[in-house]
Amino acid sequence: MTRSAWHIAGLMLGFSAMGLLAQAPPPIKRTVETYTVPEVTLVNQDGTKVKLKALLDSGEPVIVDFIFGTCTTICPVLSAGYANLQMKLPNQAAKVNLVSISIDPENDTPKVMRDYLKRYRAKPGWTFLTGKREDIDKVMVAFNAYIPNKMSHYPLTLIREPKTGKWIRIFGLMSSSEFVAECSKVGIL
Amino acid sequence: MSGLAMVPSWRRMVAGAVALFFLAGTAIAAPKGQAPKAKASPVAGLPEDKALALGERMYREGLLPNGEPMESVVSGDIPVPGTSFTCVSCHVRSGLGSLEGGVVTLPTNGFKLGQTRYWKYPNLLPEERKDLHVLTPQARPAYTDETLAHALRTGIDPSGRELNPVMPRYYLKDEDMAILVRYLWSLSTQISPGADATTIRFATIITDEVSQDDQDAMLVPLNNYVAWHNTHSNGMGNRMYMSIGGKEMSGSYRKLSLSVWRLKGSPDSWERQLETYLAKDPVFALLGGLSSGEWKPIHTFCENQKLPCLFPITDLPVISESDWYTQYFSKGYYQEGQAAARYLHGLDDPTSASRILQVIQDGPEGRDLAAGFRETWKELGQGAVKELRLAKGESLQATTLRTLLQQEKPTTLLLWHGAKAFAALEGLADQAERPGVVFLSSRLLGAETYGIPEKARPFTWITYPYRAPEDEPKYSRYANSLLKGLPKHKPETRISTRTYAMLQLFQAALMEMDRNTYRDNFFDRIGMQRDYVLPDYLRLSFGPGQRYASKGCFIMQLSSGSEPKLVRKSDWVIH
């Protein structure tokens, strides 16, 4: 075996150890970031074209995550968080734009996205977006969330502060109370 | 072709092993054929088969025996109905678990639940741990009915440790819990037929109209791969695995065998022939396969037998959102019709989309092209589509087409027809009232695509399901070079390149499946593959339940001149 192969094997051992520790809750990391939303046109669950910059920079409260329809672990929990947040906001749900951006655009057609939202009992105000792979890549890069392989993606929630336009970047899976607290901090609840 | 030519490089081996090793933490024990203790008594007052069917529905659909969604809470305080996601979403169909985004979903299959789990090398069986002098502490003892129910309700495992908060905590009545627990004990308990501790048996299917050249184009690389894999002794193979994955991987290597099942006569008789083959030669799964006809009889057989079939070489697959046991390269002809609908729908100028006419040549190819367009057009919320089906053996005549266009006045004509319609197509060029766009299928036309009449090229759009021709050589050169020694090798059939692509995915899934040779686990591992860039298709992508790996298609036009080229008119059409 070459040295590089041993090096990779060593990395594998490290990842394996991480896997074994994964029964513990992953720590949540919170930062405040500035992002420039790319000028791309995506497609929502109704098949309608959506200019992402206009949607995200509208000045209204916006929360963004990256998911895909056949994801096995992270996305279901993120989406349960979105669904639960909408339930907690019966009168305001339509005023908070929840945006999920597909990282599997090949499979996530408008129909797949509609079915997905239906499973989560999504209310108006939750938009699932897909698009050309190049455009999806641009969005992931813009939010420092690029992953070349969808199976190695990570839980990320981005909350836009309506007043400053800055983004609260939360790495990890939040509980309902943590999610509500984060929304409250930026005044969108 | 040299068998050694198929030897994966160390880089590829290690890459495969990385994926395998990632999964090692999630699953992997060596069942060696033994089942856990039998649990055959009635549960919740129900007979065994009824209880298992209800348990399966809880596991896969998140529905309680009374039909209501299972209720749970995740991440501490987020309520989740079972219809949003349920056990199968993360633990996957076989119960062997998954790894995604750094979160390990532990196995919940009967065999693993009944074993003590160790922090280090959880794959190894007790006797292997002893042989290899692995003396590390256990993570948890084997589950019992009671401790399993406790874990499902509270998230506390039998060692007292708390499971990851992403594992839902379920609210289940005792009788419902008993049904789910019984199902989990039944899940992936015995390794599947066709596999044992030394060998995994496979077959491939060839129907009797396939030419010898085409058979060779698939069988030569397939047999060479199997021969290369089997050049290792079991000891050598295991040492190879161990050198990459350490002790965890010891005992994972299996020899492969490949049978060829030849189907003769009417497709109506194929199921019976296949049943006979399977009874005599119980294989673990089917690899590839070749038929110029419809794949449906074989597809149905695989569904009935729960027998995986990996990448048959067919352009006439079954289109289904729920069938599970055949992994196709694409939706074939159907996908080209689908792409035409999507592309037309996405145009900024809606003129072309206002009146649609499909002229459909008799046969399954035309039927699938038309169905792909029609169904997608409807799904996109567009209006009705007029259709003319030609009779068996009938070709489209110029006068027929002219009359039809005068009657229907379509803005777009989908001409799902072979080259015999070229004269009628050419006649359109001089017609004052003609559709602005005519679609043709490159797969249906084959090499005759390049014979589209010059005068018709400006308004003729062509569905093209592969990578653009000018880009293809660098992706398929290696795969084609493997068949250099084969007389009459025809790269244009894409049979050997598709076989090559199939083997890439097979190798990855084989390694990740490890010793857990359950048929469902084989396809669970396929579903967890990263995207692949291989010959022919622009991209192959996977996911649990995704059964058509290439999901797009180009729209092309033919350039002018006597040596025309296909020119891309669209991006890779996926929506």
Find, in chain A, the residue whose alpha carbon is nearest to that of B69. A119
Q: Is B24 on the interface with A (CB under 8 A)?
A: yes
Check: CB of residue A43 under 8 Å from CB of residue A112: no
Asked if A20 and B119 come within 8 Å (Cβ–Cβ), the reply is yes
Cross-strand pairs, B326: B309
Asked if B541 and A104 come within 8 Å (Cβ–Cβ), the reply is yes
Cross-strand pairs, B290: B206, B313
**Dist CA B442 CA B422 (whole Å):** 13
Q: CB count, 10 Å around CB of B9?
A: 8
Check: CB of residue B222 under 8 Å from CB of residue B486: no
Asked if A150 and B531 come within 8 Å (Cβ–Cβ), the reply is yes
pLDDT tens digit at each of 575 positions of chain B: 333 333 333 333 333 433 333 322 233 333 443 444 445 567 888 999 999 999 999 999 999 999 999 999 999 999 999 999 999 999 999 999 998 877 889 999 999 999 999 988 887 877 888 888 888 889 999 999 999 999 999 999 999 999 999 999 999 999 999 999 999 999 999 999 999 999 999 999 999 999 999 999 999 999 999 999 999 877 788 787 777 677 777 788 899 999 999 999 999 999 999 999 999 999 999 999 999 999 999 999 999 999 999 999 999 999 999 999 999 999 999 999 999 999 999 998 888 899 999 999 999 999 999 999 999 999 999 989 999 999 998 999 999 999 999 999 999 999 999 999 999 999 999 988 899 999 999 999 999 999 999 999 999 999 999 999 999 999 988 888 877 667 677 888 999 999 999 999 999 999 889 889 999 999 999 999 999 999 999 999 999 999 999 999 999 999 999 999 999 999 999 99
What does the radius of gyration of chain B's CA atoms come to, in whole angstroms?
27
Pairing type for strands B117-118 and B138-140 reads antiparallel
Q: Is B462 on the interface with A (CB under 8 A)?
A: no
Q: Is B478 on the interface with A (CB under 8 A)?
A: no
The structure's pTM equals: 0.90
ipTM of the complex: 0.88
Q: Which of B261, B375, B327 has the alpha carbon at shortest distance from B501?
A: B327
- Order across the sheet with A29-33: list the strands: A29-33, A167-171, A156-160, A62-67, A97-102, A126-129
Residue in A5, A83, A151 nearest the CB of B530? A151
Our CA-based measurement puts residue A64 at a distance from the nearest CA of chain B, in whole angstroms, of 18
- Which pLDDT does position B297 carry in this prediction? 98
Q: Locate tokens 């289904």: which residue?
A: B320
Residue B23, Cβ density class (10 Å: 0-12 exposed, 13-18 middle, ≥19 buried): buried
